[in-house]
Chain A
Amino acid sequence: MNIHEYQAKQIFAKYGVPTPRGIIANTPSQAMTNAQELGGKIWVVKAQIHAGGRGLGGGVKLAKSLKEVKQLASEILGMTLVTHQTGPEGKLVQKVYIEEGADIVDELYLGVVLDRAREMPVIMASTEGGMAIEDVAHDSPEKIIKVAVDPAIGFQGFHGRELAFGLGLAKEEQGKFIKFAKAVYNLYMENDAEMIEINPLIKTASGDFMALDGKMGFDDSALGRHPDIEDMRDISEEDADEREASRYGLSYISLDGEIGCMVNGAGLAMGTMDTINYMGGTPANFLDVGGSANAETVAKGFEIILKNPKVKAIFVNIFGGIVRCDRIANGILEATKITDVNVPVIVRLDGTNAPEAAEILKNANIPNIIVATDLGDGAAKSVAAAKGK
C-alpha cells in the first residue's frame, strides 16, 4: 500500500525528521487560507497523487502571492496529471498540499528498501538529489552510497559515518545528517515499510537537513498491526476493479490485450499470459483465482473480465491442486447464468477432479464453451477465437 506525500510527512514529523511546514487542501480557497496560516512570502502548491515525477508533469508550482496560490490550486485540482509513473491515462488530482517555501542550498537523495540479495534493509544516499534515482544508478552508479543495516543490531554509528563520509559532508553537518538517517531507518522498520524515498532531501541555508518530498510504501502483509497506516489508505488512488476483485480473494490486474485470462496461481497466470503472447495473441488481464476458488469467485471473475469491452475471448486455465476442477466447472456454469457471457470461453481443466469437471461441462452443452486439452492447446484456441476464427 502506498500513501501520499503529505501523509508520509506526518509520519516523518512523528520521528523527528524535519520537513517544511504544510497543510493539505481540497479546494482553491482552502489552499489560500492554508497559505495565509503558514505565513511567509513563497509557497509551493503540490498535487497529491501516488506517483513520482509530479514536478515535470506540471503538478508542483511555486506561488509568490496568496492570489497565485489560489490560482495555481484551481489549475492543479481536477487536472489529470501524467507522469512517467502514472501511465498514459494519468491520475486525477483531488488534493493539493500547500507548503512553505524552503531555502535550498543543496539537494541530496535518501532512500531505504529491502536488499533481497543480502536479506536486510539497505539505506541509499546520493549527492544527486532531485533526479530519478534509476537514472543515477544507470549513468553514475558510483554516486550512490549503499549501506545495509542488519536489523539484529539496528542503525549504529558506523552506518551513519559511512553515509556521511560517502556524501562528503562537512564535519559540522555530519551529526545532523546521521540523526536524520537514523530516524528514517527507524521509521522504516517500525512501520513495516517496503520503501521510503526522500528526493530531494535538502540542505538549507541555515545548515539544516529537511525532507522536501516523501514517498512511502508498506508491506501489505503487515498492515494488520498498523491500523494508523491502514487509515491512510486512499481508495480513489486504487484501481476499482482490482479492489473489487481482492474483496473476493481474486488477484486482478488489467492489461491492454483482447484475451481475458482466469488462472489459478500467480506463476501459471503469468505463464498463461506469456503463452498467449507467444502464440500471437494479447492478454487482457492477469487474474489469479487463488487456492479457495469456488463457483461464486469464478462467477465474479467472469464479471470483472467482461467489464472490459476489448475482451474477445476468455481462457480459463486451471491446474487443480487444492482447487478442485469440478468446482471451477460449476463456477463457469453459474457465471453463464448470472452474466451474459457473449464471447467464446476456452476451458482447460487439469489435475484434481478433472474428469468430473469435463463431464459437468459436457452435460451443460453450452455453445460458446470450447474445451482444450492442455495449456498450449488452450492458448492456441484462445488466440484463434479472439481473431474470430
Chain B
Amino acid sequence: MSILVNKDTKVIVQGFTGKEGSFHAEQCMAYGTKIVGGVTPNKGGQVHLGQPVFNTVKEAVEATGATVSMIFVPPAFVADAVMEAADAGIELAVIITEGAPVRDMQAAKAFAVKHGMMTIGPNCPGIITAEECKIGIMPGMIFKKGNVGLISKSGTLTYEGANQVVKEGFGITTAVGIGGDPIIGLSYKQLLPMFEADPETECIVMIGEIGGDLEIQAAAYIKEHITKPVVAFIAGQTAPAGKRMGHAGAIISGGAGTAAEKMAALEAAGVKVVVSPAEIGKAVAEVLSKRS
C-alpha cells in the first residue's frame, strides 16, 4: 500500500515537450511511472518519448484516462495550467515549477479546491511511492520500499531523510515534497490522515521549516488524531528573523513562525523532535523498535 499514487496511476505531463518536462518525464518512466501522454499546445498529434502529445488537458484525459498531472510549465503560465487540469477533471496535480507568483497560485488553488482537485507544490520535488511510481524530480534510487511515510517542505531534506531511513534498514511507503511557498497544495494536515489510514505505514517523518504555521496546525492534528509515531525536524533554528531563507515562505516575520515555537508545539503533541537532520534515521529506528 501507499498513499495517493501507485504503480497503476496514469499520469500526464503538462509542459511535456520542454527541456525540463522531457528530461524528468523520461526519468519517471524509467522508474516505472505510467506516463500515458502529455500536453503541449500546438504539438497535439505528435509522439514524444513514445507517448501521445495533446493540445489540451481535456483531450489528454479523454484519450488516456489519466487522473494525475505533473506540471512543468514556466512560472508565468503555472496558474493557467493548474486551472486547466482542474477543469478537465484531473484528480491530483503535482506542480514542480519554481517561482510562480503568489497571487496566481492563490487563484489557481482556490479554483482547484472548488473543482475537487488536489494539488502538491508548487516549487516542490513531487511525490514518490517507493519502487512503484515517481511523479517529480527526486533521485529515485534513494527510495527503497518500506514502512515509513515522509512529508517535507524541502526537497534535499526529503532525500537526506529518506536516505537515513534506508541506511537504518527501513524504507519508504510514500514520500511527499509539499514545497515551501506561501501558498501550497496538500499539507501535513491533509497528508497525515492518509498515512494514518495506510496499513503499510508504521511511522511518519515530518520535515518542516521556519515561516507560516502549517507545522503548528499539524501538531494540533497529531495530538487529536494520529496514533502512529511521528518524527519531526524543523529547519531554520539558526536563521535570522526577517530574512528569506531561499524558499519564498521560509521567513520569520513579526516574531512568528520560528523553529522554536514549532518544535515546542510538536513535542507537546507527543512527536519525537530532532534538533539536527542528521538524527532523523536514528530517531525513526528508535520509535520503530519501541513499537514492535
- Which residues from chain A sit less than 8 Å from chain B, CB to CB? 85, 114, 116-117, 119-120, 133-134, 137, 150-152, 189, 192, 194, 219-222, 224-225, 251, 253, 255, 263-271, 273-279, 283, 286, 288, 319-322, 350-352, 374-376, 379
- Pair A268/B254 contact, Cβ less than 8 Å: no
- Pair A265/B154 contact, Cβ less than 8 Å: yes
Q: How far is the CA of A349 from the CA of B16 in the complex (A)?
A: 31
The stretch of B86-94, B95-103, B218-226 that contacts the partner chain: B95-103
- Pair B139/A352 contact, Cβ less than 8 Å: yes
Task: Closest B residue to A85 by CB, please name it.
Answer: B242
Chain B residues with CB below 8 A from A375, complex form: 160, 276-278
Chain B residues with CB below 8 A from A322, complex form: 137, 139
B-side interface size class? 35 or more
- Pair A374/B159 contact, Cβ less than 8 Å: no
Task: Closest B residue to A255 by CB, please name it.
Answer: B240
- Pair B157/A283 contact, Cβ less than 8 Å: no
Chain B residues with CB below 8 A from A134, complex form: 254-255
Known pairs A221-B101, A273-B238, A275-B277; A152 contacts B160 (CB<8 A)? no
Chain B residues with CB below 8 A from A379, complex form: 276, 278
Task: Closest B residue to A278 by CB, please name it.
Answer: B276
Known pairs A116-B213, A221-B101, A278-B275; A273 contacts B160 (CB<8 A)? no
Q: How far is the CA of A137 from the CA of B152 in the complex (A)?
A: 30
Q: How far is the CA of A85 from the CA of B242 in the complex (A)?
A: 8
- Which residues from chain B sit less than 8 Å from chain A, CB to CB? 75-76, 99-104, 106-107, 109-110, 125, 137-139, 142, 152-157, 159-160, 163, 180, 182-183, 207, 209-210, 212-214, 217, 233, 235-240, 242-243, 245-250, 254-255, 259, 275-279
Chain A residues with CB below 8 A from B157, complex form: 265, 267-268, 271
Query: Nearest Cβ distance between residue A193 and chain B, in whole angstroms?
Result: 9
- Pair A274/B245 contact, Cβ less than 8 Å: no
- Please list 14 pairs of residues, one from A and one from B, whose beta carbons are closer than 8 Å in the complex, sorted by A's number: A114-B182, A137-B254, A221-B102, A251-B246, A265-B246, A267-B152, A267-B246, A270-B154, A270-B210, A271-B160, A278-B276, A321-B138, A321-B156, A322-B137
Q: Which of A85, A119, A133 contacts B183, CB < 8 Å?
A: A119
Q: How far is the CA of A253 from the CA of B259 in the complex (A)?
A: 18
Q: Is the interface of B mostly helix, strand, loop or mixed?
A: loop
Query: Nearest Cβ distance between residue B164 and chain A, in whole angstroms?
Result: 8
Known pairs A119-B109, A224-B76, A375-B278; A267 contacts B180 (CB<8 A)? yes
- Pair B275/A274 contact, Cβ less than 8 Å: yes
Query: Nearest Cβ distance between residue A352 and chain B, in whole angstroms?
Result: 5
Known pairs A268-B154, A374-B278; A194 contacts B102 (CB<8 A)? yes
- Among A116, A151, A220, A271, the most chain B Cβ lie within 10 Å of the Cβ of A271
Chain B residues with CB below 8 A from A288, complex form: 246
- Pair A267/B235 contact, Cβ less than 8 Å: yes
- Pair B110/A119 contact, Cβ less than 8 Å: yes
Query: Nearest Cβ distance between residue B248 and chain A, in whole angstroms?
Result: 7
Query: Nearest Cβ distance between residue A315 and chain B, in whole angstroms?
Result: 12
Task: Closest B residue to A150 by CB, please name it.
Answer: B110
Q: How far is the CA of A62 from the CA of B154 in the complex (A)?
A: 49
- Pair A350/B246 contact, Cβ less than 8 Å: no
- Pair A274/B238 contact, Cβ less than 8 Å: yes
Known pairs A134-B254, A255-B240; A264 contacts B183 (CB<8 A)? no
Chain A residues with CB below 8 A from B159, complex form: 319, 321, 351
Known pairs A253-B245, A319-B159; A270 contacts B106 (CB<8 A)? no
Known pairs A114-B102, A116-B213, A267-B247; A275 contacts B276 (CB<8 A)? yes
- Pair B102/A222 contact, Cβ less than 8 Å: yes
Q: How far is the CA of A352 from the CA of B141 in the complex (A)?
A: 9
Q: How far is the CA of A375 from the CA of B210 in the complex (A)?
A: 20
Q: Which of B99, B139, B235, B243 contacts A271, CB < 8 Å?
A: B235
Q: How far is the CA of A273 from the CA of B245 in the complex (A)?
A: 12
Q: How far is the CA of A321 from the CA of B154 in the complex (A)?
A: 13
Q: How far is the CA of A135 from the CA of B21 in the complex (A)?
A: 48
Chain B residues with CB below 8 A from A255, complex form: 238, 240
Q: How far is the CA of A221 from the CA of B64 in the complex (A)?
A: 34
Chain A residues with CB below 8 A from B276, complex form: 271, 274-275, 278-279, 375-376, 379
Known pairs A134-B255, A222-B103, A275-B278; A270 contacts B236 (CB<8 A)? yes
Chain A residues with CB below 8 A from B207, complex form: 267
Known pairs A151-B103, A192-B101, A319-B163; A270 contacts B156 (CB<8 A)? no
Q: How far is the CA of A116 from the CA of B138 in the complex (A)?
A: 27
